[in-house]
A and B are shown apart, each in its own frame.
Chain A
Amino acid sequence: MTVTTLSAQGLACRRGDRILFRGLDFALQAGEALHLAGPNGVGKSSLIRILAGLREAYAGTVERQGALALLDERPALDGHLPLGQALDFWRRIDRAQPQHAAPPPTTTGGRADPFGLDDLLDVPVRYLSTGQRKRAGLARLAASGAAIWLLDEPLNGLDAHWALAAQAAIAAHLAAGGLALIASHQPLTLDHLRTLALAEYAA
């Protein structure tokens, strides 16, 4: 089993001429999850994008070992395609990527269809509701086989039942040796969950 870690040292983020946070340190090992909490505008999404390598940190460094997967408010699925084909596009890409080769079945918690999408596979993505789209994004994430999950508001738009299912999927991912960083303003019930209140690092 390869080592999976994600850590940050002295991370700072600037947006425009405003420093959102500074001096942020954390380290996550396989099986651990970090709940990123804080009010709107505190920099949760910016931090996730920095960790994903999509944004430069104003200061500090990020170290990671393991492949990344990101879920944000955009599912990156083709709206005109049936959901099955849209998900299949990413499956084909991820299968061709060597670092994503970890077998995904463990991350679905042993259930064949943890996000209840089987009945929706023929429906074009643009007809899906917000919650269904979020579940499709979670399915894309789980199927990627990446060890590090970066989740930006993964429970937004999900009803109580699917919010629990999403957390069960995250728990299964952690149990399978993955790690997760979850930005959410909703309470999470996960084992091995630490909470990082981003507002404490506000500059």
Chain B
Amino acid sequence: MIRTLGVIFRRDLAILLRGAMGRGGAVLPLLFFLAVAMLYPFAVGPDARLLARTGAGVIWVAALLAAILPLDRLVEPDVEAGFFDQWALRGISEEALVLVRIAAHWLSFGVPLLLAAPLSAGLLSLDAGQLATVELGLLLGTPGLAAIGVTIAALTAGLRAGSALGGLLAIPLTVPLLIFGAGSLQPGGEGGLGLLAACSLAALAIAPFAGGGAIRAGRESG
């Protein structure tokens, strides 16, 4: 079973990283994330103090929106092409498949954001201490974003307005991560990181069951 999941994980990761069959790959959310940091100083002006005070929050908003971008292509194409049915025939549980996909999604979207965050921090005049907190926050928060993303993608797979609905669903569900992540950057807000990690863990724990159940339910109604 582990070997089977390894084969599936490698396929998921290759597709999510490179992008294929209408999937944008890892580049698009990354460019989006950087573009926000690049555009924000143009919008509010080059005042370094203002940028430094608000920039970390902007990074978090950008990360959250970048997480929404690939949602509609995360699960839907494989349901459509019959992959999940073929896996079910072979006795591979949907829960395991969702967990594998969360891991692949995190590697293709969370890790690039972590790598791009120093660049964003430079554009937004954050100092080294703030950058460290942002990086730690993203490290704790992006697994939760990936888990919520895959769950929503599984829930909306096969729905006609799935992509629009997915974005709408993602916003309220990811708000706690945004509040604790951005809040950890306020003076005396270090406790936010602990709460951020807790939210992330809760999302990771629930996602395989919610996502797996959603894929099975979608099959019954088809």
Contacts and interface: CB of A to CB of B under 8 A. Distances in A.
Given A93-B90, A96-B4, A54 B15 contact: no
Contacts of B21: 78-80, 126
Interface in A29-83: 52-56, 68-70, 72, 74-80
A55 B220 contact: yes
Contact of B86 (A55, A76, A99, A126): A76
A53 B91 CA distance: 10
Contact of B8 (A53, A55, A93): A93
Given A53-B88, A56-B220, A89-B11, A72 B82 contact: yes
Interface of B is mostly: helix
B218 to A, nearest CB: 11
Given A93-B7, A96-B3, A96-B4, A75 B89 contact: no
B72 to A, nearest CB: 17
Interface in B1-31: 1, 3-4, 7-8, 11, 15, 20-21
B89 A53 contact: yes
Contacts, number: 59
B207 to A, nearest CB: 23
Interface in B106-125: none
A74 B222 CA distance: 14
B85 interface: yes
A144 to B, nearest CB: 8
Chain A, interface size: which category? 20 to 34
Nearest to B5: A96
A70 to B, nearest CB: 5
A80 B18 CA distance: 11
Contact of B7 (A79, A89, A100): A89
Given A55-B220, A96-B3, A74 B89 contact: no
Contacts of A74: 80-82, 85
A70 B89 contact: yes
Nearest to B6: A96
Interface of B: 1, 3-4, 7-8, 11, 15, 20-21, 80-83, 85-86, 88-91, 219-220
Interchain residue pairs A-B with the least CB separation, the first 10: A74-B82, A80-B20, A76-B82, A96-B3, A96-B4, A76-B86, A92-B7, A76-B83, A79-B21, A68-B89
Interface of A: 52-56, 68-70, 72, 74-80, 89-90, 92-94, 96-97, 99-100, 126
